[in-house]
Chain A
């Protein structure tokens, strides 16, 4: 996928659902000068209602499950969900707990998984780029 594939700016909303902060700080690292994703128009926004992509970090705890579902419903279509980190993808080390509702895909549909504990900023960027591909697909189909 080349740079010309970025047809529009992509706004992301970050939802922590019980993460250990490791992936969360790497998301911020991806936004700041060394990795600087803003040059591609990828920007962190303050509400899911403005977002194209949800970046979900962490295994989902019981109190957060309902909130995650609501945030997903508040995000306008078309949208993509990127799970950042191993524990959001599979629950990782957080198994056999009374307060863990499960990995993210048991709560909401997921498009891209980015494994790693924690993921590197490069991997987060790659995950978001894959989400772009998913968001652009229906548009391309309409054109043909």
Chain B
């Protein structure tokens, strides 16, 4: 009973200034020390998969883009891969290069965005404004190439919707030069600033074994020293020709500690990597068609006849995204559509990261995995209009029941 007097529970969220999105943490604290954390997601669940299974595949494509506004090319890219696999559609090489260019531009803007948010969580607002100021350069290029700052609507089944014209090429090269010129300044501010180091070194540590066991993905896993990257491990599009390597802090000559500082290092290294990839794609991009189905009615007719299943995977800025799609002949929409977003895998690593930390470090540790709730909230049970939760026992019971039912 002694413990009840000294330990308290602090609820954070679902609407809280330290969080950009809706999620609820319940921290058990003793003084300033965090003893444990409970995470309750599900506030941003909109039932996208359910809606998608009632629409035609072209509508699903634009719906998938609205799973997340920051990864607004990652989800469509994975969905088209899954559908192309299911329906046996070939993608022209030029379209593959354009998909890679836009997804690397997205990684660039996402990592700069994260750098700003992380600086803000540390109370270093000058750095927030610097990061977001330089981020506008890549936003301009995205708008130039796709027509929109966010939600680009570039991939379509069998190719892409817009070509990159020769007049646009020099603008992209200029952006690459701009960022390369800035890189030294940015990495200097983030990695050699004593206040950033004091707030992030040995804070929110994720040991490599924990990252491995809890299936962390993306920069969260790589900051703990796991060389894990879909672009390297399961090359798709033209990534196989690009020799992409998963980057860890070791590539910056640092010892891997798995703390928030390492996560900054990894994301900065990936900014440089993305710049190289974009440059290489621009050089090597062949001429030719950008889609194998220039006419939409022909595409819809082909998709309606298609039958099969497909899995798409992509290394989004936050980690691995997987979509599973099953198509049935005569049906316009997918009969099954399942989405697994990176933040879903990165939720459990939060538990060891928060353990034994201070309350003041909650915002930066929460931000360090670059959480994206709107991607992640995929399951929610609603019965008679009231949302409820399912416990593990309840799910287990249902699973047993199903086995019994199937075995008669």
Contacts and interface: CB of A to CB of B under 8 A. Distances in A.
Contacts of A29: 132, 136, 139
Contacts of B139: 29
B22 interface: yes
B70 interface: yes
Contacts of B245: none
Interface residues of A, number: 40
A75 to B, nearest CB: 12
B8 interface: no
B151 interface: yes
B62 A93 contact: yes
Interface stretch (B46-54, B170-178, B231-239, B303-311): B46-54
B277 to A, nearest CB: 23
Contact of A21 (B21, B48, B128): B21
A35 B136 CA distance: 10
Interface of A: 15-26, 28-29, 32-34, 46-47, 58-59, 61-64, 67, 71, 87, 92-100, 117-118, 120
Interface string B116-150: 10000000000011001100100100000000011
B77 to A, nearest CB: 16
Given A33-B129, A64-B22, A99-B46, A94 B149 contact: no
B69 A33 contact: no
Nearest to A17: B22
A39 to B, nearest CB: 13
B191 interface: no
B46 A32 contact: no
Contacts of B46: 18, 59, 61, 94, 97, 99-100
Interface in B66-87: 66-70, 72
B69 A98 contact: no
A66 to B, nearest CB: 10
A97 B47 contact: yes
A58 B46 CA distance: 10
B337 to A, nearest CB: 14
B132 A32 contact: yes
B266 to A, nearest CB: 21
Given A20-B67, A22-B72, A24-B69, A61 B43 contact: yes
B382 interface: yes
A96 B54 contact: yes
Given A93-B63, A97-B51, A19 B132 contact: no
B22 A25 contact: no
A11 to B, nearest CB: 13
